């Protein structure tokens, strides 16, 4: 898919991930749906240091 934003063209390819159905059921405006969650999740790195607006956060 080609995206055009503020005069710059981007070539974007949609990403897909494996999902699995969970036991959570929702209702919205009379429609019933089941929540889908990622099949695999990545663990947070406990020692990762991130910088936000010039400050180091954990």
Q: What is the pLDDT of residues 4-34, one digit of tens each?
A: 888 888 888 778 888 888 888 889 999 998 8
The span from the CA of 17 to the CA of 5, in Å, is 26
What proportion of the chain, given as a percentage, has pLDDT over 90?
10
pLDDT in tens, 28-55: 999 998 888 888 777 766 777 888 999 8
Cα 53 to Cα 16, 46, 50: the distances in Å are 31, 21, 10
Burial bucket for residue 23 (CB in 10 Å: 0-12, 13-18, 19+):
exposed
Indicate whether this model's pTM tops 0.75.
no
The span from the CA of 38 to the CA of 20, in Å, is 6
């Amino acid at each position: 898919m080609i995206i055009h934003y503020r005069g710059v063209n981007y070539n974007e390819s949609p990403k897909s991930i494996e999902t699995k159905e969970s036991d959570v059921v929702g209702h919205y405006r009379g429609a019933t749906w089941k929540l889908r969650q990622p099949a695999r999740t990545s663990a947070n790195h406990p020692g990762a240091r991130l910088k936000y607006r010039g400050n180091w956060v954990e």
